[in-house]
Structure formats: structure tokens, C-alpha cells
Structure 1
Amino acid sequence: MNPPLSRANAEAHLYMDLHACSCGSTRFPRHSSVVVLADGDLASRYTGACEGCGEEREFVFRLPATPTDAGGGFRYGGDEPSQLLDPGEWLLVADAYAASVPAETTGEAAQRARAALTRAVAALDEVVKFAPDGAEIPGAAFVSDRGRQLHQREPGRFRRERLAAVRVAYADLLTQLG
């Protein structure tokens, strides 16, 4: 089996958070190690017992040949589209982070709001990476059930103009929060 590429640790952890155990729990203590694959490439291996049922969980992700540079802020990966999540899943992640922003954004709540909005913006940036040369995102890019369902229900949410407008709104809120 050829493990999928994880461009950054944040992307790998997000993937694990979105893929529940058969009991429905996503929580498990993640013990990580770097392993050598049969082809000589390096991979990250995460293991641990599910907190819901105790079943042993394991995820293996191929590491990029060149680490992703996070210069300029939080990112889930480089310039290429994700191999772990499709554009629909990324939009759902952005929605979840944006929905977690508290109405009251002072003190500690402001820190949580900044963290959530930073991740929402980064997730929106991931959606756009599936649009080749500024074109629309092809239907074939939606490979997960969650992603396909969202695209079928709300295809307009994947228009570049709309994604850009939502990103600007989130970035403006980040600026207001300091």
C-alpha cells in the first residue's frame, strides 16, 4: 500500500480528526514516529488506542520530499492540492472553524477566535488549490462522500468569487481582532 502524502503535520492531524474509529470516536493518544517505507521514502506513523472502544488505530502518511514552508502564517500544505482531503471536506473544515468563533471576542475568547479564523482562512485557501489555473473546481475533485454531498447540495459555494469573498470576510475579522 502506498500511503497518501501529508504536506504538513496540521494536515495529518486534521485528517485523523475527521476519520473516526468504527465506534464513532476520533480521539486517541497519538504516538508518532518516522518510518522508512519500502521504496525508501519517509513517512509519519501515528498509533494509539481509541478512547471510545480501545481499538488500536494507525495512520501512515508519506512525508513530502521538501518540507512545507509555513512562512507567512499558518498553512495546511504547499501550493499543490491536498491528497488527504477534497475541496468539499476543506470547506466543511472552514465552516466548522468559523462557526466556533464566539460572539464575544475579548480576552481569552479573542485568542480562540483568532486561532479559529486563522484555520478557517487556511482551509479556504486549500479549497482554491483544486481550481486549475483559476478555472472552476472540477466535479472529479470531490472524492469523499462528505465532499460530494456538499458540492451537490450547494455547488455555488465553490465558485471562486464566493470563496474569495468569504476569505476576505474572515481575514477582515482577523484584522479587527488584532
Structure 2
Amino acid sequence: MPERGRARSLAEAHVYLDVVVSGGSARPSVAETPDGWLVRAGGLEVVVPYEAEQEARRSRATFGTGVSELLDPGQWVLVGATYASRALEGGLFHTADPSADPGRFHTVVADWTYAADAVAEALKFLPEGAGGLPPEAFWTQLGRSARDAEPGRFTRAKLESDLAFYRQSLADFRHLHTEDA
């Protein structure tokens, strides 16, 4: 029987499987069950209860409400950086020739949104009043490695700065290119 986790949204399930399945190359399958969606890839299964997905949509929380049990803050920061990198690259191509790919505008907007939302997920792990994420918040090898390599990346100030930058980049891109969409 495959290893099974519980996600707070379909988006979290997909991101989790992208992170943990070797190379993120396995295309997940989604099946409906009586209790929720079952998302599978690379020998892993993630259950997304219907009520969790509904709550995520109601609250406009891309990855779900509450704190993730699947991804640690180090992984969320890396996910955010990956989406930001994609947004920067896509934004450059879109700016160079907005007519080349009509869907690129929406892809860049989604990438900046996911980048910001991923960093917001990492911030959920910060204890009240703490200046940085505590070592015990990192339970995966990938998350601990990221923290060990760049501990300054996991301070409250840096996370809030990254979140503000991603949100401002999204706003700027929309402002400059809305007519292109």
C-alpha cells in the first residue's frame, strides 16, 4: 500500500507530490472517493477531504487553511523561490513579445501568486513574536538542508520581505500588462 498523506487543498497535494516524487516528473492522478479526492503519484497518495478544499476556496487560501502537515517551511520557501523564478522568466518573455503566447500573462500571474502564497505558508510556522523559524519546524531533509545552507532566509524579516516583493511584483506585472491579457 502506498504511503498516504492528508492535504488541505488540491493545490497543496500537487505541490507536495511535485516536491517529494523523484524529480517531480510523475503526473499525478486524481480520483474521487466518498471522503475526498485521492491524488496519487510515484507510489504516494494524498487525500484531500472535500471540506478542506471547500474551506480553502472560501477563504481564498491557495494551499489551504491552517498549517501544512505535508511540507515544512524550508520546502515552502524553496517552492516560493521556484515559482518566483518562473514568474521572472515568463514576465521577461511576455514583455519582449506579448502576442507570442496569449496564455503567458495568466501563467506569470499564477506563478507570482503561488510564490507569494508559498512564502505565506512558511510564515505560518513562525511562533508568535519569534524572529525566525525554530529548528524543530524543519522535519524534512530538504527543508533542513535549505535552512542549514542559508539560515538568514528563514528569519521573520526575510520571509516578510520576500512576501512583500512577490506581491508587489504581481501587482506591478498586472499593472503594466493587463491590457495584454
Q: Same fold (TM over 0.5)?
A: yes
Query: Superposition pairs for residues 60-79 of structure 1, below 5 Å?
Result: 60-61=46-47, 63=49, 66=52, 67-71=54-58, 73=60, 75-78=62-65
Equivalent of 1:147 in 138, 143, 146? 143
Equivalent in the alignment of 1:45: 38
**Cross-structure match for 1:83:** 69
Which has more helix, going by share of residues? 2
Contact 1:117 / 1:170 at 8 angstroms: preserved in 2?
Answer: yes
TM-score with structure 2 setting the length: 0.77
The 8 Å contact of residues 46 and 59 in structure 1, kept in 2 or not, is answered as: yes
Once the 2 structures are TM-superposed, how far is the Cα of residue 172 of structure 1 from its aligned partner? Answer: 1.0
8 Å CA contact 1:6–1:64 kept in 2: the answer is no
Distance 1:90 1:31, change over 3 A: same
Q: Alpha carbons of 1:43 and 1:31: their partners in 2 closer, same or farther (altered >3 Å)? A: closer
* Structure 1 position 112, deviation (Å): 2.0
Is 2:56–2:63's contact at 8 Å kept on the other side of the alignment? no
Q: 1:61 to 1:72 in 2, by over 3 A?
A: closer
Count of residue correspondences: 162
Q: Percent identity?
A: 30
Q: For residue 167 of structure 1, report the CA deviation from its aligned partner.
A: 1.1
CA RMSD, aligned part only?
2.6
The CA distance in 1 between the partners of 2:156 and 2:84, in whole Å, is 19
Does the 8 A contact of 2:12 with 2:63 survive in 1?
yes
- Find the counterpart in structure 2 of residue 104 from structure 1: 93
- Given that 2:153 and 2:159 are in contact with CA atoms closer than 8 Å, whether structure 1 keeps it comes out as yes
**SS of alignment partner, residue 104 of structure 1:** helix
* Stretch moving more, 159-168 or 60-69: 60-69
The question of whether the paired residues in 2 share the 8 Å contact of 1:120 and 1:170 is answered with yes
3-state DSSP of counterpart to 1:77 = coil
SS at match of 1:32: strand
Listed as ranges, the gaps of 5+ residues in structure 2 are: 175-181
Deviation (angstroms), 1:110: 2.9
Deviation digits for residues 93-122 of structure 1 (CA, Å, limit 9, x no counterpart): 001001112223343433222111000000
Are 1:119 and 2:106 an aligned pair? Answer: no
Give the conservation status (yes or no) of the 8 Å contact 2:80–2:118: yes
